[in-house]
Amino acid sequence: MELEGVVQNYAWGKLGSESAVADLCRGDIQGDLPYAELWMGTHPNGPAKIKATGQSLKDFIDGFEDKARLLGKEPHRAFGGALPFLLKILSVRKALSIQAHPNKELAETLHASRPEIYKDPNHKPEMAVALTEFEGLCGFRPLEEISTFLSEVKPLREAVGEPHASALCEGKSGALKDAFGALMQCESKVIKAQLDSMISPNYEIPHLKDLFIRLHAEYPGDVGCFVIYFLNLVSLQPGEAMFLGPNLPHAYLRGDCVEVMATSDNVVRAGLTPKLIDVPPLLNMLIYEPTRDVRFFPKEENPHSTLFDPPVKDFVFVRIFFPGEGGSFSKPIPRDRASFFITPRGPGNAKGQILFLKAGGSGELSFWKEESLRAFQPFCSC
Residues of the chain with pLDDT under 70: 324-333, 346-350, 363-371
Beta bridge partners of 90: 37, 257
Same domain, 159 and 190: yes
Q: What are phi and psi of 23, to 5 degrees?
A: -65, -25
* Known binding residues: 99, 101, 126, 250
Q: Let me know whether 248 and 119 are in one domain.
A: yes
pLDDT of residue 21: 96
Whether residue 222 sits in one domain with residue 181: yes
Encode pLDDT of 232-262 as tens digits: 999 999 999 999 999 999 999 999 999 999 9
At 154, which CATH number? 1.10.441.10
Residue 78 lies in a domain: no
Amino acid 370: pLDDT: 57
Do 210 and 249 share a domain, yes or no?
A: no
Total structural domains within the chain: 3
Residue 112 lies in a domain: yes
| Host domain of residue 362 | 299-379
- How many Cβ atoms are within 10 Å of 160's Cβ, its own excluded? 29
Please give the C-alpha separations between residue 22 and each of 94, 209, 346, in angstroms, as whole numbers. 16, 31, 15
Residues 7 and 116 in one domain: yes
Catalytic residue among 157, 254, 269, 319: 269
Q: Is 60 within a domain?
A: no
The overall pTM is greater than 0.85: yes
Respond yes or no: is residue 269 known to be catalytic.
Answer: yes
* In a shared domain, residues 100 and 33: yes
Indicate which CATH number applies to the domain containing 34. Answer: 2.60.120.10
280-298 pLDDT per residue, tens: 999 999 999 998 888 999 9
Q: Would residue 279 count as lying in a domain?
A: no
Report the alpha-carbon distance of residue 37 to residue 228 in Å, rounded: 24
Cite the annotated binding site for Zn(2+) by residue number.
99, 101, 126, 250
In a domain, 77, yes or no: no
CA distance 171 to 169: 5
The verdict on 108 and 238 lying in the same domain is: yes
Residues 258 and 188 in one domain: no
Task: Specify the 3-state DSSP secondary structure of 254.
Answer: strand
pLDDT of 288 reads 97
Boundary of a domain, candidates 195, 229, 263: 229
Q: Are strands 231-236 and 85-92 parallel, antiparallel or unpaired?
A: unpaired
133: which DSSP letter? S
Q: How far apart are CA 187 and CA 221, in angstroms?
A: 11
For residues 83 and 76, is the Cβ–Cβ distance under 8 A? no
Identify which of 127, 110, 122 has the alpha carbon closest to the alpha carbon of residue 44: 122
In a shared domain, residues 248 and 109:
yes
Is 152 within the bounds of a domain? yes
Residue 328: per-residue pLDDT: 52
Of 176, 204, 229, the one marking the end of a domain is 229
Residue 258 has what pLDDT? Answer: 97
Residues 225 and 240 in one domain: no
Beta bridge partners of 56: 49
> Does 284 reside within a domain?
no
Give domain status of residue 76, yes or no. no
Looking at the fold, whether 213 and 192 belong to one and the same domain comes out as yes
Same domain for 151 and 221, yes or no, is: yes
Give the model's pLDDT for residue 324: 66
pLDDT score, position 110 = 95
